[in-house]
Amino acid sequence: MTAQLKFTLAFLLFSGNLFGQLLNNNWVFGGAQLIGDTATQAVMNVSFSNGVPVASKFPPTDYYMDLAIATISDSSGNLVLYTNGVHLKNANHEIVQNGGSLPNSSNWSQVFPENQGVMLLPRPGYQNQYLLFTADIFGFIYPPTGTFRSGSSNLTYSVIDMNLNNGKGKVVERKKNMIQDTLSGGQITAVRHANGRDWWVLTSRYNINQYYAFLVTPDGFEHHGLQTFSSEMRVSLGQAVFSPDGNWYLRYNTVNNPYSAWFDAYRFDRCTGLLSDHRHIKMADEVQRGGVAVSPNSRYAYVAVYDTIYQFDLQAPELEDSRTVVAAYDGFLDNIAEEIGDTVLIPTRFFNMQLAQNNKIYISCPDNSSHYLHYINHPDSAGLNCGVVRHGFRLPTLHVYGIPNVPYFGLGKLVGSSCDTIVVSGTASVQGGEEIEVFPNPTTGGLVVQSPVPLRDFMVYDISGKKISEGSFERGYSVDLSDKGAGVYFLHIRALNGKMTTKKIIKTE
């Protein structure tokens, strides 16, 4: 591999990860019924464009949002898609073509009540295409107790092409089965493969310490089998998350047989998709709703247990011994009826947690509806220095329970890893494209593109990652850079089949 090509690959993976962080730029959630209006729902968007979250209300809607919420933005930070697990909507708040009525039962025609029951990812190797993962809910009788339980019967994926319908999108592959089994309800999460392009998607079996791992690539997904641990694992209402560096997989669950709450930690191998070194830590002897998140530097795990937030040091010799209380419920009550001049006071305890683009961790409230999110101001700091701000972020309308299920998009390739399977040559794409040639290079302006497959369009980026031009290949396979200054540019070429090729272009005077 030449020095120039190594530089190109490093820049593309680095800049791709800078762009990737913007995929978490918008959170769409809400869904609490407005007091006095049983037909209208309150939905909002929180944007992190400038580092400081800005919340704005959507127009009144009947779109109910509960625990199954997912959102994704594009590489520029613009909202693209959001879902409540029932319908998939675009940035115009329209149901994407073929993206309505997603659950497998009419029982879930308005709301999908599985925590992390949906997730959106960018489709590897494809421009403006996304993947929606869903877990179908079903009810069953749990044999040991004879009680009714809910879980998920399968994990499915759908492909959304936002190049279609004038940018409004279309679901081109809908709810394709990845696995059929008695799975944990929700808790779908993902982390990038060590090659920096593909994704590992994990889900678990119901109340058994067994995990399915799927590798999502430009060619589809690969089932990497079922991994089994002999140690105990209980699953019910909870949350799962990978650390930003991809080395840890963490879960919080609260269960009712017996009444208890648990924090589970595993090491994770981004090359193989395998978990190891399971730690099973009891957090409470009663049912306690809560969640889990990890600091941006991947050192500290935070576990919310209803009225308490704990910090664990993932670098400590004994994880359980590092448990530290960093916040407790302070008794603050939120008046959820103030908009209609009435008084209905609701506690603001701690529930789901989510690391945001501004490197703060936000925490929802578990008791009915709330106007507030809590947040951890300095999650990379130890102990009380992490700065938990209780009910510190006031929302413009009520929300209920959930925060969007968003994986960490900023993780790149594992430098020096032997499992980087992306092949790079002088004519191959780092994004899985066809063999495409561009010449002359260096150029004084005019470029000719030679391709064995039909091409759709192109985009040109400067060395800082800013898009400076774009166009189509409808009138021929050529690109004109004559109006650009001398320097290094990156030409992204998209074929009709959606696959991308990126070329480093040197422009001379």
* One-letter amino acid for residue 316 of the chain: A
Of the chain, the percentage scoring pLDDT greater than 70 comes to 83
Sign of the dihedral defined by the CA atoms of residues 216, 220, 225, 228, in that order: positive
Which residue has tokens 């960018």?
A: 122
d(CA 24, CA 357): 6
Of the chain, the percentage scoring pLDDT greater than 90 comes to 46
d(CA 458, CA 475): 13
Report residue 425's pLDDT band, with 50, 70 and 90 as the boundaries.
very low
Domains of the chain are 3-400 (2.130.10.10), 437-507 (2.60.40)
> What pLDDT score was predicted for residue 433?
37
d(CA 143, CA 140): 9
- Higher-pLDDT residue of 186, 300: 300
Q: What is the mean pLDDT of residues 365-376?
A: 90
> What pLDDT score was predicted for residue 464?
57
Q: What is the pLDDT of residues 37-65, one digit of tens each?
A: 656 788 899 999 888 899 998 887 778 77
Pair 268, 408: CB distance under 8 Å: no
Q: What is the mean pLDDT of residues 114-134?
A: 92
Q: What is the pLDDT of residues 301-345, one digit of tens each?
A: 999 999 999 999 999 999 999 999 999 999 999 998 888 888 999
Measured between its terminal Cα atoms, the distance across the chain in Å is 28
249's tokens: 């997989």
Q: What is the mean pLDDT of residues 151-168?
A: 88
Lowest mean pLDDT among 210-224, 269-283, 464-478: 464-478
CB-hemisphere CA count at 13 Å for 257?
11
The model's pTM is 0.78
Report residue 254's pLDDT band, with 50, 70 and 90 as the boundaries.
confident
d(CA 349, CA 367): 7
Q: Which of 3-12, 175-184, 245-254, 449-458 is the most confident on average? A: 245-254
Three-class SS state of 16: helix
451's tokens: 């391709």
CB-hemisphere CA count at 13 Å for 380?
7
Report residue 15's pLDDT band, with 50, 70 and 90 as the boundaries.
very low
Pair 110, 64: CB distance under 8 Å: yes
Closest by CA to 61, choosing from 87, 39, 37, is 39
Q: Classify residue 486 by its DSSP letter.
A: S
Report whether pLDDT(276) > 80. Answer: yes
d(CA 31, CA 238): 19
Pair 103, 86: CB distance under 8 Å: yes
- Which value, in Å, is the radius of gyration of the alpha carbons in the chain? 23
> How high is the mean pLDDT of the chain?
84
- Higher-pLDDT residue of 448, 132: 132
472's tokens: 């189509």
Q: What is the pLDDT of residues 160-207, one digit of tens each?
A: 999 999 999 999 999 998 888 777 777 899 999 999 999 999 988 877
Closest by CA to 131, choosing from 172, 90, 187, 167, is 172
- Higher-pLDDT residue of 30, 243: 243
CB-hemisphere CA count at 13 Å for 282?
8
Triad 435, 439, 443: Cα angle to 5°: 145
Residues paired with 146 in a beta bridge: none
